[in-house]
Amino acid sequence: MTCALVAVLAGFAARDVQAATRVFPLQGVWTLVAADKVLQTGETTRDYGERPKGRLIVDATGRYSLQIFKSERVRFASENKSDGSADEMRSAVMGSSTHYGTMTIDDRAGILVFSIEGSSFPNWEGTIQRRQYTLDGSELRYKVPPRQDGSIPISVWHRVE
């Protein structure tokens, strides 16, 4: 009877070790490769300029931080951002997209689910957003739901570590 109890407890311990070592499939550091959009005509165009910059960092539990920046943002004339002109402010806001929170994956539906805690666009805070995604080796690609103009943003990331 004691041997049976030890075997059962050992089984539970092994299961717990496996659960603890299981990591989120997108864990790592990702660099932005493309931030495009597909127009209603089917044409793909740049959404964040010719050389967008970005980073996506995901931990083992799915906590993430994401930043996308348009390379062609207008630089501020002043070193103090509170002195920025309307054009400088517009370029800074419209040329960036940042948010953080947690993400999960619905493998069967091919959906990446963002639970957004904080965002450069305040209306996204506290929202849940779903993105169709594919993961092909070290490339992550996802589509954002269509915008009001019908265009569909697409982000492409490459795992760097």
pLDDT means per 10 residues in the chain (161 residues)?
52 52 89 97 95 97 97 92 92 94 94 97 96 96 94 97 71
What pLDDT does residue 86 have? 94
Contact predicate 120/93, CB 8 Å: yes
Tell me, what's the pLDDT at 81?
Answer: 87
pLDDT at residue 3, as a whole number: 53
Q: Are 45 and 36 in contact (CB under 8 A)?
A: yes
Q: Of how many residues is the chain composed?
A: 161
| Locus of tokens 């030890």 | 6
Within 10 Å of residue 4's Cβ, how many Cβ atoms? Answer: 8
Q: What is the DSSP letter of 107?
A: T
pLDDT of residue 22: 72
Supply the pLDDT for residue 8.
Answer: 47
Taking the domain 25-159, which CATH number applies?
Answer: 2.40.128.280
Confidence (pLDDT) at 2: 59
